[in-house]
A and B are shown apart, each in its own frame.
Chain A
Amino acid sequence: MSSNASAEAHISSGDGNVHVHIASVPFYVGIFVALVFLTVLTVAVSYFDFGAANTVVAMLIATAKASLVATFFMHLRYDSLFNTLCFLAAFVFLAIFILITYDDLGHRGEVDPDYGGTVMPQTGVAAPGSMPATSATANETTGEGPPAAGSGEKK
């Protein structure tokens, strides 16, 4: 069957029985070899410093590996497109989750090295809804520790 045929054709056409694309054993082994190569590559590049790009490079390689696993080992290539959409939707919502949290963090002040919690950079007072001080002594000394009940961080 053509690899471009939609999964609907696999599932609803014909006699109602399950018909799936069956890849060959050498094909799966080839995917595995590619995954091992990418693993060795990501470890090798970790010994070089690309500055801020370190994480980007590592994530690009990881995404390439994850794509290989999802596409071929998990059969998404020959599966219903809707299953792929379900899978990718998870990453869309994950991105929303992380980006909005990240944006929120940008309006919360900065970590104070002495105090241990987050403070507003201009005034030095504890930022609203910030991380609490990391030690009880810090609270006593500054007297400005945010109330424990108001913070989402549990120690």
Chain B
Amino acid sequence: MTTVSETAHAGATHDDHDGHGDAHPSFLQHHFDTPAQQFAASKLGMWVFIATEILMFGGLFCAYAITRALEPQVYDQSHHFLNKILGATNTIVLLFSSLTAALAVRSAQVGKRNETSIYLVITILCACVFLVVKYFEYSHKFHLGLLPGHCFGHPGLSASVLPNGQEVGTCLRMGANPDSVTPLWVRAIDESGHEQLLPPRANMFFALYFVMTGLHGLHVIIGMSILTWVLIKNQQGKFSKAYFTPVDLGALYWHLVDLVWIYLFPLLYLVGKPE
């Protein structure tokens, strides 16, 4: 490795002489020639990972495309049960967190450690706000009985009646009559307070809604964990102008979370016929 040590030596800010003339900076792993090579390799690895993430979500987007092509009516009606304003609020919260993540990387690039930490904290707080809004959206839908599996898709079960005998009018069933072969449309009150008729198999929409936003929410939590780890390492002074790769890659992951939501929001909340 003596052939490469000179270039690394020339620009290294944290020379680590080990007595053999090799002057790798402490952050440079042995199998890389230069910090620039290590940085480029890390970025490439992250982008390949991002591609696999897109393909993982892609399975769900494909399911969305197919079920929507099969029954556009289900999507036209069901999306009225999602709150556009809450969805748009969450979109802006995520976009803002992406901005602060990008600014955290910028601060790391210019070597301002405290600024990086502040931006990372703001990003993580935005992620918390996103999850709190999502919690209210989810719990409202649970309350309406829109969670697939409970009373969706089981015509033989009288799931619209709670265990204490109370009728839950908005709980959806495939058919009003358990013996009926023909699934019936169900009346329910949507987010705007209007009465909507939900077609049979509206559970397809809500199953995809919960799985897609659920998988995205899982990514939000993972992203928060990664950014918290980056924050701790930043506070420990592990990063510098010469080495900020984890800040960069953590932010890339966070931008991916933002990218997925940019598509989820219109596909779930906005498409279909307006009222």
Distance between A84 CB and nearest chain B CB, rounded to angstroms: 8
Contact A31 B99, CB 8 Å, known A17-B35, A20-B109: yes
- The residue from B183, B255, B265 contacting A134, defined by CB atoms under 8 A apart: B183
- The residue from A17, A102, A135, A136 contacting B11, defined by CB atoms under 8 A apart: A17
Residues of A within 8 A of B242 (CB): 17-18
A48 to B273, alpha carbons, bound, how many Å? 8
A138 in contact with B181 (CB, 8 Å)? yes
Residues of A within 8 A of B183 (CB): 113, 116, 134-135
A31 to B102, alpha carbons, bound, how many Å? 11
- Chain A residues with a Cβ closer than 8 Å to the other chain, count: 71
B10 in contact with A39 (CB, 8 Å)? no
A102 in contact with B44 (CB, 8 Å)? no
A22 to B252, alpha carbons, bound, how many Å? 16
Residues of B within 8 A of A39 (CB): 88, 91-92, 95
Interface of chain A, main secondary structure: helix
- The residue from B39, B70, B99 contacting A18, defined by CB atoms under 8 A apart: B39
Interface string of B40-74 (1 = CB under 8 A from A): 10011001101110110011011001100111000
- Chain B residues with a Cβ closer than 8 Å to the other chain, count: 77
A135 in contact with B155 (CB, 8 Å)? yes
In residues 83-112 of chain A, which contact B (Cβ within 8 Å)? 83, 86-87, 89-91, 93-94, 97-98, 101-102, 105, 111
In residues 64-94 of chain A, which contact B (Cβ within 8 Å)? 65-66, 69-70, 72-75, 79-80, 82-83, 86-87, 89-91, 93-94
Q: Does any Cβ of A come within 8 Å of B110's Cβ?
A: yes
B50 in contact with A69 (CB, 8 Å)? no
- The residue from B34, B61, B99, B252 contacting A32, defined by CB atoms under 8 A apart: B99
B106 in contact with A16 (CB, 8 Å)? no
A70 to B47, alpha carbons, bound, how many Å? 11
Distance between B39 CB and nearest chain A CB, rounded to angstroms: 5
Distance between A116 CB and nearest chain B CB, rounded to angstroms: 7
Q: Does any Cβ of B come within 8 Å of A43's Cβ?
A: yes
A99 to B138, alpha carbons, bound, how many Å? 32
Distance between A95 CB and nearest chain B CB, rounded to angstroms: 9
Which of B127-135, B210-218, B256-264 contacts the other chain?
B256-264
Q: Does any Cβ of A come within 8 Å of B29's Cβ?
A: no
B270 in contact with A42 (CB, 8 Å)? yes
Residue of A nearest to B75 (CB): A55
A80 in contact with B174 (CB, 8 Å)? no
Per CB-CB distance, the 9 closest pairs between chain A and chain B, nearest first, are: A16-B34, A90-B51, A58-B266, A15-B11, A16-B7, A17-B11, A46-B270, A90-B54, A32-B99
Not counting A18-B244, A135-B181, a sample of 11 additional A-B residue pairs whose C-beta atoms are within 8 angstroms of each other reads A15-B11, A28-B102, A32-B96, A36-B95, A39-B88, A46-B84, A46-B271, A90-B51, A90-B58, A111-B71, A135-B174
